[in-house]
Chain A
Amino acid sequence: AQSVDQPDAHVTLYEGASLELRCSYSYSAAPYLFWYVQYPGQSLQFLLKYITGDAVVKGTKGFEAEFRKSNSSFNLKKSPAHWSDSAKYFCALVNQGGSAKLIFGEGTKLTVSS
């Protein structure tokens, strides 16, 4: 069965530090992977996606993510972090079996202190 795991429910760091949010997935075929961000009281905003090609993909707001097939991971990175990055981040996998629905991880709440 397809699944996405975000092992860190909370990540806290100081402004200026490097951030890395972990995501691992389970999928039998080549995965389509996404990161979304949800600010308090708001909806989900698309950050970036990996479909094929270069393992490192760049997205909006200065974020990038690295796809590693060897350990089924798709970690989100940014350096330096800014206080405005504080939000909840969701990793997701597209179920390519017809309906193309997103399967989300549990989310990681990021707090960046100034």
Chain B
Amino acid sequence: NSKVIQTPRYLVKGQGQKAKMRCIPEKGHPVVFWYQQNKNNEFKFLINFQNQEVLQQIDMTEKRFSAECPSNSPCSLEIQSSEAGDSALYLCASSRGQNTLYFGAGTRLSVL
């Protein structure tokens, strides 16, 4: 069973509403990734962190998406103004930095 904890499992928002999801990485894993898996099972990399620092993020996240991984608190991914196209499974993964990613159960976002 995954030791990456994601909450909530399900999130329902109206268009324009804020959506926030959280992730607690596996203990001892300094690297955290966020991916979006759409209904066609395509994975889109969003952002990753090493400790609290952003390693890389795609352009999309710089507009409506924001993410952080503060020390001693869960990591979070927030969508400021949800759109229908944001409906997807959001996956958090953590790694010791040795390339193997371990995924959480995901947060399924539905934007009505």
Contact = CB atoms under 8 A, between A and B. Distances in A.
Given A98-B55, A100-B97, A106-B42, A44 B103 contact: yes
A28 interface: no
A7 to B, nearest CB: 15
B103 A49 contact: no
A101 B45 contact: yes
B45 A94 contact: no
A45 B103 CA distance: 7
B101 A46 contact: yes
Interface residues of B, number: 23
Contact of B55 (A32, A51, A99, A104): A99
Contact of B99 (A43, A49, A106, A107): A49
Interface string B83-112: 000000001010101011111111000000
A101 B99 contact: no
B33 interface: yes
Q: Is the interface of B mostly helix, strand, loop or mixed?
A: strand
A106 B93 CA distance: 19
Interface string A47-69: 00101000000000000000000
B71 interface: no
Contacts of B104: 43
B91 A43 contact: yes
Contacts of A98: 55-56
A45 B1 CA distance: 8
A101 B48 CA distance: 8
A94 B54 CA distance: 18
A102 B91 CA distance: 12
Interface of B: 2, 31, 33, 35, 41-43, 45, 48, 55-56, 91, 93, 95, 97, 99-106
19 contacts: A32-B99, A34-B100, A43-B2, A44-B103, A46-B100, A46-B103, A51-B99, A88-B41, A94-B99, A100-B31, A100-B48, A100-B55, A100-B95, A100-B97, A101-B45, A102-B33, A102-B43, A102-B45, A106-B41
Given A90-B43, A101-B56, 11 more contacts: A43-B2, A45-B103, A46-B103, A49-B99, A94-B99, A98-B55, A100-B48, A100-B95, A101-B33, A102-B35, A106-B42
